[in-house]
Structure 1
Amino acid sequence: MLKNILIINDFAYINGGAGKVAINSAIGLSRIGYNVTLFTAVGPIDESLKLTNVRVICLWQKDILSDSNRLRAVRQGIWNEYARKEFEKLLIGLNPQETIVHFHAWIKALSPALFKPIENLKFKLVITLHDYFLFCPNGGLFNYQNLKICNIKASSVGCLLCNCDVRSYPQKIWRYLRQMVQWKFVKSIKNINIIYISKLNREVSYPYLKDISNKWYFVQNPIDINHRAVVDVRNNEKYLFIARLSSEKGIGLFCKAMRDLHLKGCVLGDGYLKDRLQKEYPEIEFKGWVSGKEKDELIMQGKALVFPSLWYEGAPLTIVEMKSYGIPCIVPDKCSASEEIIDGKTGFIFKSGVLTSLEDAIMKYEKVDRNIMQKNIIEDFNPGKYMLVNHCRRLLDVYSDILSGC
């Protein structure tokens, strides 16, 4: 019988989609009455956790990108021995027949070292595929040099020889080494269970993981839903971009389309490309990361969301959030965002990475009856499927199935 749930996440605070799901699910599961432990490396501890029954273990380490001691970062990224020891201590005090270990994110601080005690102590493991780090060295099946989806088999010799890294080829070699270390321990674990978050997510992952896992479960990510009135987009003029400002998110494509079509763009997000893009596209508003009332006010000014992500993004939360506002979305075909859109009825789908296709989709939207499109969005949208309580119920079904050995 399930009593204990261990949730593994690099950060003790929300720093992105995976962290948000990990922390919110920890809170939701603890409210139901389970003993939930969140095992993390990097602080501070999120405020949302402080008034809950979630036991938070934070090792107060630096993530490997932020650590100024680069030699330590190189070593820790491949094998975080301190994290392994502390995780093993935690596991030793628990009964494997009453415990589920659920991995969300571990690459940026905790490292693959955590897989070793799971096999040694025979605990049941489930991994949510928020990205592709389980089998791809750079985690995205994406070539950051040519900004295209990578067609080379991940972790193959061809993969080693390909300079796809966002930083440098030596960094790629280091990532490849980390992948080899990780795979050694992952493949030794019996009966790894996989949670996928979209059809595309499973489709691209299954060929790599089919030999180590025969249990695959779909679990819908919980998403913050707008419960206020929908946005009246009829007189709005601003196309919204809401994401991290990094190359794989397609921010360059968005900016080019806004300039080419002489349309108003508003960017909500931050990242290493922000300063350069602000100088290059002064006509576009760059608001940085926003939240709460400020974010809500900017969304209320939106005409549509343009989501031009270039990689196999697993389940972008922003699309559902915009649907809850009744805001149409323009999304690429090689991204699971397209699974949330009925082309021509609740938004438009364009050919991934192709500027002319994006611009064509935007111009179609310019000519559409937006009242009808909003009506279609409202009729198609089911907020209940994205609620945290339903996410937690589904997780409990998955955990029960895993522990029962069915």
Structure 2
Amino acid sequence: MTSKRLLSINNYHYRRGGSDVVYLEHAALMEELGWENGFFSMQHPKNFDTPWSRYFVDELEFGHAYGLADKMAMAAKVVYSFEAQKKLKRLLQDFRPGVAHLHCIYHHLSPSILPTLAAAGVPTVMTAHDLKIACPAYKMLNDGGICERCKDGSVLNVVKHRCVRGSLGASSIVAVESLLHRRLNTYQKHLDKVVVPSRFFMEKFIEWGWPRDKFVYIPNYVDASRFEPDYAAGDYFLFFGRLAVEKGGATLLRAAHAAGVKLKMVGTGPEQEALLALQAQLQGDVEFLGYKTGAELHALIRGARAVVLPSEWYENAPMSVLESYAFGKPVIGAAIGGIPEMIDQGETGWTFESRNVDQLADVLRRVRALPDAAVERAGRAGRALVEQRFNRAGYVGATLQLYADLGVAQ
């Protein structure tokens, strides 16, 4: 069996989003368990300092003002990055991992690194943080809502419906990338296992043609000992997250107004101005608090009656659910994606039909009318759920078993 050496691979080497946090924290967890870590990523000004940066690929950011030649070179790298292959080969000459664990690699590193790992004989695992290994646009979402046209049809649907940022150019590049890697069968051929944090994602991938035996269900976790709960039922409902269309902010504002409840919105994003305009029209009891993190955010969660996730896309396994539970708060979640499997209906929270303003308003009214003691019981049940089902020990045990099954010494 090979050694306890982990090579973690991800586009960014800083805490940019949820998948990047998992990439870094998974590596830190394995180091605590006595593993030696290596990293492969992309150069970026916000990256954490690391000696592994000498192997990282050059920065590639789509929002920058590039010239035509640079844009064409970038597009080629998105489809197939020979630079990433070359630099990864050099890393593998200097560091022989027992297993490579991939997170988000497309667009910046590209799937071209998968055959490189396979050729080196490195067992390779990917955590599916999104739906990219099925959907070219990775969200199964476009301006028209949930979209699965590419499942049984051509990936050129992504161009026709401009599924990537509403852009013809970006959608065309992604379509070419997907056509090539579907033809080469890059993901299915070269990934040994895919970790899915939600059962919903596993079943969705299988619907799209993946074999069931490629998947291992390992749910996300929180270390509840690091969260100080407050079970007292507050007088407001809380949303915290990105203000984007798929997060359902407009549905929540309308429902809160209809229910006559107090709502606090934490976060920023592309829908911020539209939501502020809607709030000005509705005149509900809503506070927009902007971006909050750390102690400020934690205090807002502790003070809430319940946390609301009004999502309108296929969420995977939102950490915000687990964090809310850890702080002793019940969750009201849209019944879409992996959210329902994280909520024990009527025990740790409540669900409603995604996009249904009336149903959400009804749930908000009912939870506001509940005796405080009942809300507190739900918060305690949520805390117990993360301690018993979504805990560190379960995550570690399942991960080590996966690595052992791939031939890595424990």
How many Å separate the matches in 1 of 2:392 and 2:219? 10
Mapping for residues 86-97 of structure 1, pairs under 5 Å: 86-95=87-96
Match of 1:189 in 2: 189
Asked if the contact 2:221–2:322 (Cα under 8 Å) also holds between the matched residues in 1, the reply is no
Match of 2:318 in 1: 316
Match of 2:236 in 1: 238
How many Å separate the matches in 1 of 2:188 and 2:229? 52
In structure 2, the CA distance between the partners of 1:178 and 1:64, relative to structure 1 (3 Å rule), is farther
* Equivalent position to 1:358, from 360, 370, 379: 360
Match of 2:26 in 1: 25
SS at 1:154's partner residue? helix
Match of 2:82 in 1: 81
Letter matched to residue 242 of structure 1:
F
Asked if the contact 2:329–2:378 (Cα under 8 Å) also holds between the matched residues in 1, the reply is no
Q: Return 5+ residue gaps in structure 1 as ranges.
A: none
In structure 2, the CA distance between the partners of 1:174 and 1:239, relative to structure 1 (3 Å rule), is same
How many Å separate the matches in 2 of 1:268 and 1:155? 39
| Cα deviation code 1:139-158 (max 9, x no counterpart) | 0122x2122x2242438327
In structure 2, the CA distance between the partners of 1:392 and 1:36, relative to structure 1 (3 Å rule), is farther
Letter matched to residue 229 of structure 2:
A
Match of 2:206 in 1: 206
Letter matched to residue 10 of structure 2:
N
How many Å separate the matches in 1 of 2:59 and 2:152? 27
Please state how far the C-alpha of 1:385 moved relative to its aligned partner. Answer: 4.5
Please state how far the C-alpha of 1:192 moved relative to its aligned partner. Answer: 2.5
Letter matched to residue 144 of structure 2:
N
Asked if the contact 2:126–2:191 (Cα under 8 Å) also holds between the matched residues in 1, the reply is no
Match of 1:66 in 2: 63
Match of 1:139 in 2: 138
Match of 2:120 in 1: 121
Letter matched to residue 220 of structure 1:
P
How many Å separate the matches in 1 of 2:144 and 2:293? 33
In structure 2, the CA distance between the partners of 1:68 and 1:191, relative to structure 1 (3 Å rule), is closer
Asked if the contact 1:112–1:181 (Cα under 8 Å) also holds between the matched residues in 2, the reply is no
Asked if the contact 2:329–2:380 (Cα under 8 Å) also holds between the matched residues in 1, the reply is no
Asked if the contact 2:98–2:408 (Cα under 8 Å) also holds between the matched residues in 1, the reply is no
Asked if the contact 1:64–1:74 (Cα under 8 Å) also holds between the matched residues in 2, the reply is no
* Equivalent position to 1:325, from 324, 327, 333: 327
In structure 2, the CA distance between the partners of 1:200 and 1:187, relative to structure 1 (3 Å rule), is closer
Mapping for residues 52-63 of structure 1, pairs under 5 Å: 59=56, 61-63=58-60
Letter matched to residue 263 of structure 1:
V
TM-score, scaled to structure 1: 0.87
Match of 2:177 in 1: 178
How many Å separate the matches in 2 of 1:249 and 1:262? 21
Asked if the contact 1:303–1:327 (Cα under 8 Å) also holds between the matched residues in 2, the reply is yes
Q: Return 5+ residue gaps in structure 2 as ranges.
A: none
Please state how far the C-alpha of 1:400 moved relative to its aligned partner. Answer: 0.9
How many Å separate the matches in 2 of 1:252 and 1:111? 35
Match of 2:151 in 1: 154
Quick check: 1:109 aligned with 2:108?
yes
How many Å separate the matches in 2 of 1:265 and 1:208? 38
Asked if the contact 1:7–1:22 (Cα under 8 Å) also holds between the matched residues in 2, the reply is yes
Please state how far the C-alpha of 1:67 moved relative to its aligned partner. Answer: 3.2
SS at 1:330's partner residue? strand
Asked if the contact 1:155–1:176 (Cα under 8 Å) also holds between the matched residues in 2, the reply is no
Letter matched to residue 248 of structure 1:
E
RMSD of the TM alignment (CA)?
2.7
SS at 1:260's partner residue? helix
Letter matched to residue 221 of structure 1:
N
Count of matched residue pairs: 394
Letter matched to residue 180 of structure 1:
L
How many Å separate the matches in 2 of 1:190 and 1:298? 44
In structure 2, the CA distance between the partners of 1:187 and 1:7, relative to structure 1 (3 Å rule), is closer
Match of 1:263 in 2: 261
TM-score, scaled to structure 2: 0.87
Asked if the contact 1:36–1:55 (Cα under 8 Å) also holds between the matched residues in 2, the reply is no
| Cα deviation code 1:75-105 (max 9, x no counterpart) | 332233322211121223455xx62111111
Letter matched to residue 345 of structure 1:
E
- Which sits farther off after the overlay, 164-173 or 319-328? 164-173
In structure 2, the CA distance between the partners of 1:16 and 1:189, relative to structure 1 (3 Å rule), is same
Q: After the TM superposition, which segments of 4 or more aligned residues of structure 1 sit over 6 Å from their partners?
A: none
How many Å separate the matches in 2 of 1:315 and 1:57? 34
* Equivalent position to 1:341, from 338, 343, 355: 343
How many Å separate the matches in 2 of 1:218 and 1:377? 26
Match of 1:307 in 2: 309
How many Å separate the matches in 2 of 1:101 and 1:245? 34
Asked if the contact 1:64–1:108 (Cα under 8 Å) also holds between the matched residues in 2, the reply is no
- Which sits farther off after the overlay, 185-194 or 299-308? 185-194
- Which sits farther off after the overlay, 15-24 or 282-291? 282-291
* Equivalent position to 1:399, from 387, 395, 403: 403
How many Å separate the matches in 1 of 2:217 and 2:109? 25
Asked if the contact 1:9–1:19 (Cα under 8 Å) also holds between the matched residues in 2, the reply is yes
SS at 1:381's partner residue? helix
How many Å separate the matches in 2 of 1:382 and 1:9? 27
* Equivalent position to 1:297, from 295, 299, 316: 299
How many Å separate the matches in 2 of 1:311 and 1:26? 29
Please state how far the C-alpha of 1:267 moved relative to its aligned partner. Answer: 1.5
- Which sits farther off after the overlay, 324-333 or 366-375? 366-375
How many Å separate the matches in 2 of 1:278 and 1:28? 40
Letter matched to residue 109 of structure 1:
H
Letter matched to residue 317 of structure 1:
M
Asked if the contact 2:259–2:361 (Cα under 8 Å) also holds between the matched residues in 1, the reply is yes
